[in-house]
Amino acid sequence: MFDLDGLLVDSEDAWGRAERAVVEGLGCPWDPAVRTLLLGRGPADAAAVLAEFLDLHDPDEIGRRLLAAAEAEFRRGVPLLPGAGRLVAGLRGRLPLGVATNSLRRLAELAIASVALEGVFDAIVCADDVERPKPAPDLYTTACALLGADPARSVAFEDSPVGMRAARAAGLWVVGCPSFPGQPTDAAHAVIGSLREVDPGELLAAG
């Protein structure tokens, strides 16, 4: 099971540009701390956190602006992160593969298409598919159910503390691959610096 943003695709810069455009469009000065605050959060949660951070009172409007800005960035394309293509290709057809992402489906589909991974995953579960996105376990429990997979025999790769907590709460074995240095990884069972460190053959043998 894979997260998407910051794990398979390098969309964090795109999100950063979108968030900055929204903050400055609201007449507020850009603060790089926004990136850390919003990392890995679902759409509604991110809008609420940003509204509180900016001392504004309309998270719904902020959410609409964030989605529009992010969609514009994603339509320009996002690159595949190092090691992601090799790992997915090495596991495809040999294990059920899923994506569990806090992105809305329209953004997830744009990201997956931009790196030519359409049709690769057996299940893709997005924030708009569940009542409670990460850090709740719902995305992972739903994806495991769709795949017919036992969470206790499943592995999740995550880049954000929010995602690591979600996967662990769902009962998966969690590999943390932080997209930003210094991020907490206490919810991960193992931590790597890049997906390039994961050998598909070794992973299959360990299963």
Convert the pLDDT of each residue in 144-180 to its tens digit: 999 999 999 999 999 999 999 999 999 999 999 998 8
- Average pLDDT value for residue range 110-121: 94
Q: Say which residue, 135 or 42, is predicted with more confidence.
A: 135
> Which of 5, 10, 138, 159 is flagged as catalytic?
5
Contact assessment for residue 66 and residue 55, using Cβ atoms and an 8 Å cutoff: no
Residue 99 resides in a domain: yes
pLDDT of residue 46: 82
Same domain, 50 and 93: no
55 is catalytic: no
- Kindly calculate the radius of gyration of the chain based on its CA atoms and give it in whole angstroms: 16
> Which of 3, 10, 138, 159 is flagged as catalytic?
3
Same domain, 42 and 96: no
Residue 4 resides in a domain: no
pTM of the model: 0.86
5 is catalytic: yes
pLDDT of residue 96: 96
Same domain, 123 and 94: yes
Domain that includes residue 109, residue range: 84-206
